A and B are shown apart, each in its own frame.
Chain A
Amino acid sequence: MGESRENTLEGVLNELQGSIPEIEACAIVSVEGLPIVSALPTDVDEAKVAAMTAAMLTLGEKAAIELGKGNLEQVNVKGVDGWLLVVQAGMNACLTVSTTANAKLGLIFLDMKRAAEKIAGMI
């Protein structure tokens, strides 16, 4: 019997994206910056998302350590047209989400946390 949809990494991303319309794209990226799985619009390059996630992690981790905030848990970037959110998904991966500008962050973080916990159990 095959794995049910919600028990795959693709399924976790699809469920996350399907539950909140403001999420435009999401991806699972290894902490080393390599793409694992993504659910992206056709005009978004998976490698670029992975590279940007890696760059955000590098800067975020440095800032957190240098300013005494401990190990990095998440990085949030706001642009005029939306948010880029990166959270840890276990010790080996990160969940990156791109949203529209009017997204309700509280709800998104709640669903990202659930998704990250599932991902952590799978990787």
Chain B
Amino acid sequence: MFKIRKDDKGRIHLKLVFYGPSLGGKTTALRWLYGKVEGLQKGEFTAIEDETNRTLFFDYLPLSAGGRVLFDVFTVAGQKRHRHQRKVVLQGTDGILFVADSSPDQRDENTESFEELKMFLGDALGREIPIVVMLNKRDLPNRMSRDEMLDLLGLGGNVPIYETIAVQGVGVKRAFQAIAREVILKRMYK
């Protein structure tokens, strides 16, 4: 069902998508990976955004681990009106990094976004398509508790969870490495 994609140089391409509610930190996390993380070869950062720098369609960053494998990393536009674009960006994805927002006032947005993701990917989510969850904005004084957020999203013990502060890069690289590893295990070592 899932075919390994290779380019003309024989490099394997794997597609990762940052998904989650609007203003949850998806683009911030990707920009932090682009700007601050060493040990990953990076290509050009591409952003399609509006005049307020909010993602309009997607952000895209190719990241290479070891030269032989290239991760094509996308974020989606989180606003509700971009539902169709999100569905398009999800096509052919090999792994999902779900960025949940720890603000209590984003409770419903987190749930809606996660439900939408489950609807788009169906049973493949968590099985054929691995998922790692970032609980972002953990520096907020009034943040929801970890257990509250996991209950909210209906997550049990099978999904790797990382607490992150995307603006400072805390936990971002580990979460990215975790989803990259899950995808490599699923796609390359079957």
Pick from B161, B173, B180, B181: contact of A91, CB under 8 Å: B173
Q: Does B189 contact A (CB under 8 A)?
A: yes
Q: A51-B185, A54-B189 are in contact. Are A32 and B38 (CB under 8 A)?
A: no
Contact digits for B57-101, partner A, Cβ 8 Å, 1 yes 0 no: 000000001101100000000000000000000000000000000
Chain A residues in 8 Å Cβ range of B178: 58, 61
The total of Cβ contacts below 8 Å across the A-B interface reads: 56
Which of A31, A48, A57 is most buried by chain B, counting CB atoms within 10 A of its CB?
Answer: A31
Q: Does A20 contact B (CB under 8 A)?
A: no
A51 to B189, CA, bound (A): 6
Interface size class of A (residues with CB under 8 A): 20 to 34
Pick from A51, A54, A58, A91: contact of B39, CB under 8 Å: A91
Chain B's closest residue to A57 (CB) is: B181
Q: Does A30 contact B (CB under 8 A)?
A: yes
Considering only residues 62-96 of chain A, those with a C-beta below 8 Å from chain B are 62, 65-66, 71, 90-92
Q: How close is A20's CB to chain B, nearest CB, in angstroms?
A: 27
A40 to B189, CA, bound (A): 18
| 27 interchain pairs, CB-CB under 8 A | A30-B65, A30-B66, A31-B181, A32-B69, A32-B177, A32-B180, A32-B181, A32-B184, A33-B184, A34-B66, A47-B188, A47-B189, A51-B185, A51-B188, A54-B184, A54-B185, A57-B181, A58-B178, A61-B178, A65-B162, A66-B157, A71-B174, A90-B39, A91-B38, A91-B39, A91-B173, A92-B39
Chain B positions within 8 Å of A, measured between CB atoms, are 38-40, 65-66, 68-69, 157, 160-162, 173-174, 177-178, 180-182, 184-185, 188-189
Chain A positions within 8 Å of B, measured between CB atoms, are 30-34, 36, 47-48, 50-51, 54-55, 57-58, 61-62, 65-66, 71, 90-92, 123
